[in-house]
Amino acid sequence: MSLRVWLWLLSLSVLWGGSFFFAKVALSELGPLTVVFARVTLAALALATALAVAGTNPFRRGLPWPAFFAMGALNNVLPFSLIFWGQTEIASGLASILNATTPLFTLIVAHVLTDDEKIDRAKVAALLAGLAGVVVLVGPDALVGGSSLWGQLACLAAALSYAFAGIYGRRFRALGVPPVDAATGQVTASAVLILPIMLVIEHPWTLAVAPSATVWLALVGLALLSTALGYVLYFRILAAAGATILLLVTFLIPITAIVLGALVLHEQLLARHFAGMALIGFGLALIDGRLPRLLRPAK
């Protein structure tokens, strides 16, 4: 991967790492489906406004709206709903570990459905090293605070949905859809899909009190940073490096959360944190390809 793609990947890990925190705050007062609707609707409004200000009609003719709706279902509506509901049943640390299975699912789905992202020994070793690193990094405390089987299965199902979305989303490059248009179309379609489901199941108008300012700030952060900006980067990386590389970001999310905690909140870094980061770094180096080439004996 080029340095530019690495920087995009690291930036996306920070944006998506923050989504677990923002979602946890919002879920303290709102239902999971209401949080999903607020997330994608605010993101859609922000991206559509940005395109309009730039002189581009976000709803112009010729855009592949059937593909946007399919991508919205696979990449937003289904996984967001499953993860947010799962976070009400299991600890956030455990949810992040289960979310880190996404590249493993992607490896299998890409091998079956594509011609250019096949499984090889280096990829398997890299992804297993990365997953082991996440488990070591998060530590045994992740298992505390809820052990619902259904919550765990929901997070695994979300990871599988992300894998299919990563493969499906490759078509936007072939269709010539710019990353900002793809992100806008996806979250707009997601808002349309989740609205009737949210209204029927959660009845948000029956809330005893209006959401607090803290929850509104969390929703804004979730929508503008983790979703609007995050998906612009998502489609850039997908076009440049492919689905398997893109979804390695789930290995980096726990690292960014822990490093930010140490730098901003002065939390202590433990030996297992460094060990987990080393394993993840080793896995990323393997899949990047430079390390295997350096270690390969010269002929």
Domain ranges of the chain: 15-123+145-243
Q: What pLDDT sits at residue 219?
A: 95
Q: Give the pLDDT confidence of 241-252 residue by residue, as tens digits.
A: 887 777 778 777
* Contact status, residue 98 vs residue 156, Cβ threshold 8 Å: yes
pLDDT given for residue 141 in this prediction: 63
Which two three-digit tokens encode residue 40? 């994608």
Exposed e or buried b for every residue in 222-259, given b needs 16+ CB within 10 A? bbbbbbbbbbbbbbbbbbbbbbbbbbbbbbbbbbbbbb
Closest by CA position to 13, among listed 222, 277, 253: 253
Segments of the chain assigned E as strands: none
Query: How many H-runs (helices) and E-runs (strands) does the chain carry?
Result: 16, 0
- Which amino acid makes up residue 267? E
183 vs 39: CA distance, rounded Å: 13
Ranges of the chain whose pLDDT falls below 50: none
Instruction: Return d(Cα 159, Cα 194) in angstroms, integer.
Output: 19
From first CA to last CA, the distance across the chain in angstroms is 25
CB 130 within 8 A of CB 100: yes
What is residue 275's predicted lDDT score, i.e. its pLDDT? 83
Model-wide pTM > 0.85: no
What are the two backbone dihedrals, phi and then psi, of residue 90, each rounded to the nearest 5 degrees? Answer: -130, 165
Structure tokens at 103: 């590249």
Q: Provide the CB-side half-sphere exposure for 5 (13 A, CA).
A: 17
pLDDT score, position 273: 73
